Amino acid sequence: MSELSHVDREGRARMVDVSAKADTARIAVAAGELRTTPEVIRLVRADDMPKADVLSTARIAGINGAKKTSELIPLCHQLALSSVNVSFGFTEDAITIEATAKTKGPTGVEMEALTAVAVAGLTLHDMVKAVDPAATLNGVRLVTKEGGKHGHWVRPEAEQQKHDHTKHETPAAAPASRAGEGRTAAVVVASTGAAAGTRTDTTGPVLAKWLAEQGFSVRGPLVFADADISFGLSDALASEPDLVISTGGTGASPTDATPEATLALIDRELPGVADAIRQAGTAKFPLAALSRGVAGLAGRTVIVNLPGSPGGVKDGIAVLTPILEHLLAQVAGGGNHE
């Protein structure tokens, strides 16, 4: 687009008329980070800040910010949001923020997702400023969007990062098992405690690290409460990655809903993959037989459920490593069948 949509021919600001556009499902994902100190990270993860309940407060603020976007950004349309999800992650010196907004209507939901990240980030700053007044909110950006005339869009820098990674990897330096070279993956964690900030997830980061080592461009870990895992998996699928691996929510507890959410999204099952993961775990830990995790295909995306324990993730990695390249090649329409 070579012209600004919110400026008319006389150079005056205007609200775009979307009355002639068709209603379609719209999804937008935005991200950002609050750069702070390791001390703040430790306090937030332990819920030990002077202003307690940091993540829950910031999450609610982000959701509320998305709902009020048209009041804050003067030329934005009022949208009937069907869903807003705000999740957080941690690095050594930053709290990462990701927001997903959904609606069905004639115009996009990007500004709502961006506003959710910005407001959540500012709320985090307010909550931590007593310990680190120098904290900075950085990198508020749109990551992906779906719907409308232009369909699927992914931030160009993400594609460039994948290209650069492949370009600079020499055959001599690349391990033979790098199944995901040039491919994309998402890690989804089902944990009510981790989503609320009351416990530390130890499985998602392990999966993300392993996938990155295999050459994947990784999104996540995306952490969701058990009750929100259906939304979490749908969110992960929105960008059409090659692979989605979930951890947690596969047991027999009344709140464990990952298998049901996965079955509702896949077109075909891969029962042998799920059975192999169960067998690998049961050989060492009999209770692993209680996992109800499934594996399957949603379009050309492979989805695999792993248990929410470090041991279960380790077993899953052991099973997936030797078969992943062939599996993804088959799904893409290739692979040696002889």
The beta-carbon contacts of 49-56 under 8 Å, at least 24 apart in sequence, are: 49/127, 49/128, 49/130, 49/131, 50/130, 50/131, 51/126, 51/127, 51/130, 53/197, 54/124, 54/127, 54/128, 54/197, 55/88, 55/196, 55/197, 56/196, 56/197
Question: Do residues 107 and 80 lie in contact, with contact meaning Cβ atoms separated by under 8 Å?
Answer: no
Q: How far apart are CA 18 and CA 205, in angstroms?
A: 42
In 147-286, at which residue ranges do the beta strands (DSSP E only) sit?
153-154, 184-190, 217-224, 243-247, 268-269
Q: Give one DSSP letter per residue of 267-292, joined into a string.
A: SEE-HHHHHHHHHHHHTT-GGGGG--
Measure the CA angle with vertex 190, ends 187 and 195; round to 5°.
100
245: which residues sit within 8 A by CB, 6+ positions away? 185, 186, 187, 188, 207, 211, 303, 304, 306, 316, 320
Residue type, 303: I
Contacts of 70 (CB under 8 A, 6+ apart): 76, 77, 78, 79
What is each CA distance from 152 to 68, 221, 222, in whole angstroms? Answer: 25, 22, 20
Which of 126, 164, 201, 267 is flagged as catalytic?
Answer: 126
The two three-digit tokens of residue 198, written as one number: 């009351």
126 has catalytic annotation: yes
Distance of CA 242 to the CA centre of its chain: 14
**Which residue numbers are catalytic?**
126
